[in-house]
Structure 1
Amino acid sequence: MQNILSKISAFLIIFLAVLAEPTSAQDNNLTLAKADSLFQHQRYSDAFVLYEQLLVQDQHYSPQMLLKMAYIKEGLRDYTGAMYYLHLFYTKEPSRSTLKKMEELAQAHRLYGYEYSDLQFFKTQFSKHYMHILELMLLAAVITVTIMLFQWRRGFRFSSSFKAGFILYLLFILYYINFLNLGDAGIIKNNHVAIMSAPSAGADWITTATQGHKVPITGEQDIWYEIKWRGEKAYIRKSNLLELP
């Protein structure tokens, strides 16, 4: 009897979840439409509150919404926020025009860290197909290993050139896994931020940075991030850095 009741309960939970999903999506669409209306009427602060709710709480957004959020933040002179949402947009819709916008904004406000190379642009474009290609290569490797084991048990011996070629293929997969690693980065989100030479408040002071600068993150220790500041190793408190996804 208890087993039957548990199955019925599980079925009801799944059924209610399925019913609730379209309702949630409809609510999100209504919220987005309301936010867009507020944006069109230049009620930017009110629109941003709804956009942020959709992005953070509901994980519901469109690329155009991210651009509008960046526009609002730029208008408020919150360049950390502007660059953050432009970066999110760029990860969804990579384009040179977005890179140019970030570079122009960085140059206009003397922000450091927004120089992009052709290789980085290529990696971002290629990342759309990264997982599919990796899955195919791993599947091919698994199938090859399975066939090799089957043949080996039957007494077949593979040539040295075949073994060397397969090892090179595996090494290429390892290279491919790391090829698109652009590294972690963050944007300084506060003004008057101390950049230190070591992860300690008593360490040597390097400089004081303002918000908006983008820095590579190379490690972390307690409440500190290890970063690269103008090519040199430095440290910044985690509370002062907005990590990019």
Structure 2
Amino acid sequence: MIDRIKVRLFLGILFSCFFGSLMAQNTDLAEGDSLFLEQKYTEAYDKYRALFQNDQASAAMLLKMAFIQDGLGNYTEALYFLDKYYRMSADRNVVGKIGELSEANDLSGYSYDDTDYFLALLEKYQLHFTLLLSAIMIMLSVYIFQKSKDKEKPIAAGIIQLIVILCLFAVLNMKAPPKAIVVSNNTLLRSGPSAGAEPIDMLSKGHKVKVLKRDEVWTQILWDGREVYVRNGKLRLI
């Protein structure tokens, strides 16, 4: 009896914390949206940024953050949030704005192809795909179990289940390759992960680059077909 009370108490606390956090998030978002509508953009951005830092961003919120930063002339931040928005929403309409900003500032790395769109769709509907494939897998498992009890060998069902498992694995693990935006002007690219390595090129802020690997100090990126290194503080991962 005591154990049951403890379990119920624990579940009650867990649900209270979850819904309390959700309500607080909705309150902060509503306050931010209200400030945005009142054109108090700086105050709205502060509300949005706090939510973003806590991994509580919505697609609409990211678009508003990009709008605010674009209005302030911070094109690097605007591109960052627009790219995050595209990855979350798979909204191709935003690609034109990204292209406009990148061309106006002579920046590279902002081309989007069908693979990028597919990965964005996958990220947007990952939960839906996961639930659907999991449900199919469970139904197939029950079917195979019943057939096995009847001394039958449902080979076709077993093959389909294997395919479903592989699809589920792909949905859970397939992600866009890591990329980053250069956030500082006069960012020096070097041939190796060392301050004494040969300088290769110098970039202005705003370029988007493909990340190959990263340690505590240096990030290896792909630039102009070459593998080069840049200090971590000069990049912002997307």
Shift in Å, 1:90: 1.1
Query: Pick from 66, 86, 91: which aligns with 2:87?
Result: 91
Contact 1:195 1:206 in 2 (8 A): yes
Task: Measure the CA separation in 2 of the matches of 1:207 and 1:12.
Answer: 61
Task: Measure the CA separation in 2 of the matches of 1:184 and 1:48.
Answer: 26
* RMSD (CA atoms): 3.9
Structure 1: gaps (5+ residues): none
Task: Measure the CA separation in 2 of the matches of 1:17 and 1:129.
Answer: 27
Query: Highest CA radius of gyration, 1 or 2?
Result: 1
Secondary structure of the corresponding residue to residue 198 of structure 1 = coil
Q: Name 2:100's counterpart in structure 1.
A: 104
Q: Name 2:205's counterpart in structure 1.
A: 211
Q: Name 1:184's counterpart in structure 2.
A: 178
How many residue pairs match? The answer is 229
Amino acid corresponding to residue 52 of structure 1 in structure 2: R
Q: Name 1:14's counterpart in structure 2.
A: 11
Question: Could you tell me the percent identity over the aligned residues?
Answer: 30
Query: Are 2:58 and 1:62 equivalent residues in the alignment?
Result: yes
Q: Name 1:72's counterpart in structure 2.
A: 68
Amino acid corresponding to residue 100 of structure 1 in structure 2: G
**Cα shift readout 1:10-63 (whole Å, capped 9, x = no counterpart):** 533431332343333333222222212222222211111111112223x43332
Task: Measure the CA separation in 1 of the matches of 2:181 and 2:191.
Answer: 18
Q: 1:18 and 1:242, CA in 2 relative to 1: closer, same or farther beyond 3 A?
A: same
Shift in Å, 1:222: 4.1
User: When the two structures are superposed, what TM-score results if normalisation uses the length of structure 1?
Assistant: 0.74
Q: 1:93 and 1:15, CA in 2 relative to 1: closer, same or farther beyond 3 A?
A: same
Query: Pick from 214, 224, 227: which aligns with 2:221?
Result: 227
**Cα shift readout 1:171-193 (whole Å, capped 9, x = no counterpart):** xx59x939955311111122221
Would you identify which runs of 4 or more consecutive aligned residues in structure 1 move more than 6 Å? none
Q: 1:202 and 1:66, CA in 2 relative to 1: closer, same or farther beyond 3 A?
A: same
**Cα shift readout 1:68-124 (whole Å, capped 9, x = no counterpart):** 101111222322321221122112211221112111111111111001223322343
Output aligned runs, 1:95-244, within 5 Å. 95-128=91-124, 132=129, 135=133, 139=137, 173=166, 177=170, 180-244=174-238
* Farther-moved stretch of structure 1 (126-135 vs 208-217): 126-135
Q: 1:194 and 1:90, CA in 2 relative to 1: closer, same or farther beyond 3 A?
A: same
Amino acid corresponding to residue 230 of structure 2 in structure 1: I
Structure 2: gaps (5+ residues): none
Q: Name 2:38's counterpart in structure 1.
A: 41
Task: Measure the CA separation in 2 of the matches of 1:125 and 1:82.
Answer: 22
Task: Measure the CA separation in 2 of the matches of 1:130 and 1:63.
Answer: 15
Q: 1:16 and 1:73, CA in 2 relative to 1: closer, same or farther beyond 3 A?
A: same
Task: Measure the CA separation in 1 of the matches of 2:14 and 2:7.
Answer: 11
Q: 1:19 and 1:177, CA in 2 relative to 1: closer, same or farther beyond 3 A?
A: closer
Secondary structure of the corresponding residue to residue 114 of structure 1 = coil
Task: Measure the CA separation in 1 of the matches of 2:14 and 2:181.
Answer: 38
Contact 2:183 2:205 in 1 (8 A): yes
Task: Measure the CA separation in 2 of the matches of 1:177 and 1:217.
Answer: 21
